[in-house]
Amino acid sequence: MTYLVLQLIGIGYTVVMTDHVFPLYPTVAGIPFFLVSFLPAFLIFAVPWLFTDLGEQAAIHMPVWVTVMWGCVRLVIESTIQMHHAYGVKGISSWLLWPIQACEEYTITYPIIGEVTRNRGGNFDAFSCATCAIPVAIIIAIVNDDCSGGTKALGWILQLWMVIYLNVGPFLHFLQGMPGPNNIFDFGRTPKESTRMDGLYRGVVGASIPLSGQGSGFLRRAASTCTPFPAITKRLTCDPQITIQVHGVGVIAIRDIPIGEHHPSAPRSPS
């Protein structure tokens, strides 16, 4: 129920931001409004997750395969964007296509690297989810052993990849393609029409993508990157008499469970 309420609050916030505020202030002091609106959206989800038992219970009970699969929400997000693009919605960059999808040539200028010209999509984000993360999550679910060293390693590798690439891939390109005067993240891109990103922050797609990408989606990825630490280590010793006290995204203490005290991973003592 808590998670459902968070979604409804996030939807309301997103609709107001995309339909009413963004058109008036596409940038604030050169910073794309997409980034300005990110902090409140993040806090709507992060505060309950980090400072209530919502995150604690998820960290304790969530299997590793779920944390990996949860991070793959971007596959749904970016597939939704592609469907809107295919039906003619403007303001969606060709960069968001998968690397195996051809398109008209476009050029984006990056700091330090300089100009990069492509005639295919440049987004490995959803592509790697579909070809790597989801198959691995299925394998981890079949193995069903969160104490396995291989399970832990695979979970960590995939989560680190997804959270790092999120920032240097989609997030950076979202900011580069946003409109407005003096966008400090726009280092140059041609043609403008096929490298725009404002379509992600208006209309129907604008009401859904920022909610998922900025709020719940970012938190899912943050949680699925951090939560595996307590989730993977929740049975660190594989000893049912030991539990790990967690709160949100970190281990607070490992303690012995007194005889007779019940917790999710320990059997009840006879009365």
pTM above 0.75, yes or no: no
User: CB under 8 Å to 150, separation ≥6 — which residues?
Assistant: 143
Comparing CA positions, the residue from 264, 245, 216 lying closest to residue 49 is 216
Q: State pLDDT tens for residues 166-201.
A: 888 888 998 999 988 789 999 999 999 999 998 887
At 28-50, the pLDDT tens digits run 999 998 888 888 877 877 777 77
pLDDT band with cut points at 50, 70 and 90 for residue 109: very high
Distance between first and last Cα of the chain: 33
